[in-house]
């Protein structure tokens, strides 16, 4: 049976596939952070930093490789540093130390070292941001909000209107382009924010708790919209959330922060199957494992058997449903090209869907 390895707080991704690389990033809030950097790097606690020196630790030694064309989720509870981290990518916040390397036209550039002119161009052309509170202009129509970024770039009115209308229609708001934000529901307002971000055609999309203010059903709908769009556009998306279910649904990779530090990072099923510590274990305890674990994780190597063929990327909840409908106890597993990889049994699926009982170990 496959044994997925959990990535630690180190760079492990192939650099050729990396859209954003965070390297040794520190952020200390206060009047003289540079004077305390060495002490923090040496292990000074956040309590001592705050109580003795009057500074606040924002981020400590963050190292994350974010996949190009994929969705990197950064999650954690309030105060964990996730929103501070995403604001370093477009340098709305300057770090105390570290690098933020981005792939621009096939070349890595350090956002931290960009001049003011380079940074302005980077923000306008390479990144777009979707906020939790929508951040729409109340006196602009839906269309005017959607085309605002293009207007700032100096794009001609006809061209920017055509492009904005395409995205307004794509996010399901055709017919509302002349409405104002206060005439729309929360979910519709967030669709405007998404259309505005996508109209810029920036390769990097930053989403800070973008769906957190929405009702559960609308939130789920917006997640579906994002996943559908990502199949088409293949942006490098950094998505901030405090909700594990949302992280598992959206993230190609997930990094979990606590007190400004990365506790664990990897794929959703790596984190669910091998939580790094009790803190992560408490997060994943109530997760529906059947919707996270995929057939490739449970396959047993061996020759093909008589029975159906399941895709290796299929979640085991769906695999169990298919096997149950056919009254079968096992199936073959193949990759996307149809190559046989092994077999999977209903017995293994059921065992994997039930989290281990840790009460007897305490």
Q: What is the pLDDT of residues 255-273, one digit of tens each?
A: 999 999 999 999 988 898 8
Query: Residue 48 and residue 54: Cα distance in Å, rounded?
Result: 9
Listed in sequence order, the residues at least 6 apart from 303 whose beta carbon sits closer than 8 Å to its beta carbon are none
Task: Compute the mean pLDDT over every residue in the chain, rounded to the nearest whole number.
Answer: 88
Query: Residue 147 and residue 295: Cα distance in Å, rounded?
Result: 43
User: Out of 8-17, 51-60, 97-106, 122-131, which region has the weakest mean confidence (pLDDT)?
Assistant: 8-17
Report yes or no: 215 and 186 within 8 Å, Cβ to Cβ.
yes
What fold is seen in the domain 66-99+113-289? Rossmann fold (3.40.50)
Strands (E) located in 249-327: 253-258, 261-266, 309-311
Q: Hey, where are the domains in the chain?
A: 66-99+113-289, 290-361
Give the residues across from 254 on adjacent strands: 73, 266
Query: Residue 59 and residue 44: Cα distance in Å, rounded?
Result: 13
Q: Which two tokens stand for residue 87?
A: 């604001």
Please tell me the predicted confidence (pLDDT) of residue 184: 92
Query: Residue 41 and residue 61: Cα distance in Å, rounded?
Result: 8
Query: Residue 343 and residue 244: Cα distance in Å, rounded?
Result: 30
Domain 290-361 has CATH 3.40.50.2020: no
Query: Residue 242 and residue 263: Cα distance in Å, rounded?
Result: 14
Q: Residue 356 — very low, low, confident or very high, per pLDDT cuts 50/70/90?
A: low
Query: Residue 77 and residue 230: Cα distance in Å, rounded?
Result: 26
Q: Residue 10 — very low, low, confident or very high, per pLDDT cuts 50/70/90?
A: very low
Nearest to 40 by CA among 51, 53, 49, 30: 49
């Amino acid at each position: 049976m496959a044994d997925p390895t959990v990535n630690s707080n180190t760079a492990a991704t192939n650099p050729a596939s990396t859209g954003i690389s965070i390297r040794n990033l520190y952020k200390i809030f206060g009047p003289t952070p540079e004077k305390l950097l060495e002490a923090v790097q040496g292990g000074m606690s956040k309590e001592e930093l705050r109580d003795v020196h009057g500074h606040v630790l924002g981020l400590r030694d963050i190292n994350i490789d974010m996949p190009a064309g994929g969705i990197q989720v950064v999650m954690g509870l309030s105060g964990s540093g996730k929103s501070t981290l995403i604001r370093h990518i477009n340098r709305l916040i300057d770090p105390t130390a570290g690098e933020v390397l981005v792939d621009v036209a096939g070349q890595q550039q350090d956002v931290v070292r960009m001049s003011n002119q380079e940074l302005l161009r980077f923000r306008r052309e390479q990144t777009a941001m979707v906020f939790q509170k929508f951040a729409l202009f109340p006196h602009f129509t839906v269309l005017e909000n959607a085309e605002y970024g293009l207007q700032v770039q100096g794009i001609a009115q006809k061209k920017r209107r055509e492009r904005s209308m395409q995205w307004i229609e794509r996010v399901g708001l055709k017919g509302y382009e002349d409405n104002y934000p206060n005439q729309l529901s929360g979910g519709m307002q967030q669709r405007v924010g998404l259309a505005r971000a996508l109209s810029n055609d920036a390769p990097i999309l930053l989403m800070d708790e973008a769906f957190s203010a929405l009702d559960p059903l609308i939130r789920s709908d917006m997640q579906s919209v994002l996943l559908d769009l990502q199949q088409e556009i293949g942006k490098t998306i950094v998505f901030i959330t405090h909700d594990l279910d949302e992280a598992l649904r959206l993230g190609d990779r997930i990094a979990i922060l606590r007190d400004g530090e990365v506790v664990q990072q990897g794929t959703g099923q790596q984190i669910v199957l091998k939580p790094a510590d009790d803190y992560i274990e408490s997060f994943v305890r109530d997760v529906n494992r059947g919707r996270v674990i995929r057939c490739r994780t449970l396959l047993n190597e061996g020759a093909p058997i008589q029975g159906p063929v399941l895709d290796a990327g299929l979640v085991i909840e769906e695999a169990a449903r298919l096997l149950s409908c056919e009254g079968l106890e096992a199936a073959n597993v193949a990759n996307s090209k149809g190559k046989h990889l092994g077999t999977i049994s209903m017995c293994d699926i059921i065992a994997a869907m039930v989290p281990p009982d840790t009460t007897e170990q305490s």
